[in-house]
Amino acid sequence: MSISSNQQVPVYFIEPEGLTGNRHFKMYNFEGSLPEQSELLIPHRKNHYLIIFLRRAGGTRQWIDMTPYILQDNRIYFSSPHNIIVKEEFKELWSTGIAFTSDFLSFLENPTLSNLPLIQNPHNGHELLLTEVDVNFVEDMMSKINAEYRRPGEWQQRMLGAYLTVLLTYLSRLYNEQFKSNDTSAEKLLLQKFQAKINEHFRELHEVSEYATQLNISAGHFSEVVKAQSGKPAIKHIHDRLVMEARRLLFHTNNSLKEISFDLGFTDASYFNRFFKRETGITPAEYRASIRKMYH
């Protein structure tokens, strides 16, 4: 995997495979295997669009622009080059993915593709629910794209482009149907501002009331809006972000548990230990031992 390291948030590029050297289009296939381990718990961007058809997920969890997703079976997940992605934990996956750059879209000489809802993503959504009919259609298209991807030749790019155009158009129709009643309201904007504030201040601000003050709104009304818009209490958003950062530090650093607890704004390491176990079911030390055993 190629990485641009001259930016604060690393950018991952498509790594060419085989003899084609294609840096603008790639297929990913997982049949009960684990994704790229080097991405685990590292906030990053990709220089490309990514569409994943997930057949079986096993509870894998990731964040896109600070919104957590517990990946579900028979769904589409998608991201764009500007999104910040954090893969919090990996489980075995059964999935097919398509990565393609903006340049690849331009190669197709179809300017309307860049304006499709799935590409523009005006509602900042990253998950599409599929009916059984949708699953059958997506599986068929993914199979056709996969077969063409494995068949280099002068017609390959045209065929890939034709199939991708059909798939993107189909998924864009689903996107509009799923998000048609999800207009960006003041309440939705408040949730987005809250998530942005958490990302800025999660180390020093641990209470809902502190974020309500930051956003100039009463704590009671603020909590009601966040719960209505996201389906979970405001405090859970804060705790999820703390746990994700704690996991990152436990995996990627050799800092002591005391150092990590202080870094995350806990004045008492024993309280951090209890907090982490309450949220995850295991202690920080147990998590560090298990994750390193799994990935090293």
DSSP string across 108-167? TT-TTGGGSHHHH-TT---EEE--HHHHHHHHHHHHHHHHHHTS-STTHHHHHHHHHHHH
What is the CATH classification number for the domain harbouring 64? 2.60.120.280
pLDDT tens digits, 53-83: 999 987 788 999 888 899 999 999 999 998 9
Q: Do 284 and 163 fall into the same domain?
A: no
Q: Do 139 and 222 fall into the same domain?
A: no
Q: Do 150 and 59 fall into the same domain?
A: yes
Q: Do 99 and 208 fall into the same domain?
A: no
Total domains present in the chain: 2
What mean pLDDT comes out for the span 160-180? 95
Q: What is the pLDDT of residue 4?
A: 45
Q: Do 158 and 173 fall into the same domain?
A: yes
Sequence-ordered list of residues with C-beta below 8 angstroms from that of 125, at least 6 positions apart, any chain = 175, 178, 179, 182
CA–CA separation, 254 and 244 (whole Å): 16
Q: What is the pLDDT of residue 2?
A: 47
Q: Do 119 and 218 fall into the same domain?
A: no
Which domain, by its residues, includes 255? 186-295
Q: Do 152 and 206 fall into the same domain?
A: no
Q: Do 243 and 291 fall into the same domain?
A: yes
Question: Which of 179, 209, 225 is the endpoint of a domain?
Answer: 179
Q: Do 113 and 237 fall into the same domain?
A: no
- Per-residue confidence at 3, pLDDT binned at 50, 70, 90? very low
Sequence-ordered list of residues with C-beta below 8 angstroms from that of 167, at least 6 positions apart, any chain = 51, 98, 138, 141, 142, 145
pTM flag (> 0.85): no
Q: What is the pLDDT of residue 193?
A: 92
Q: Do 114 and 259 fall into the same domain?
A: no
pLDDT tens digits, 4-56: 434 478 999 998 876 556 889 999 999 988 777 777 888 999 999 999 999 99
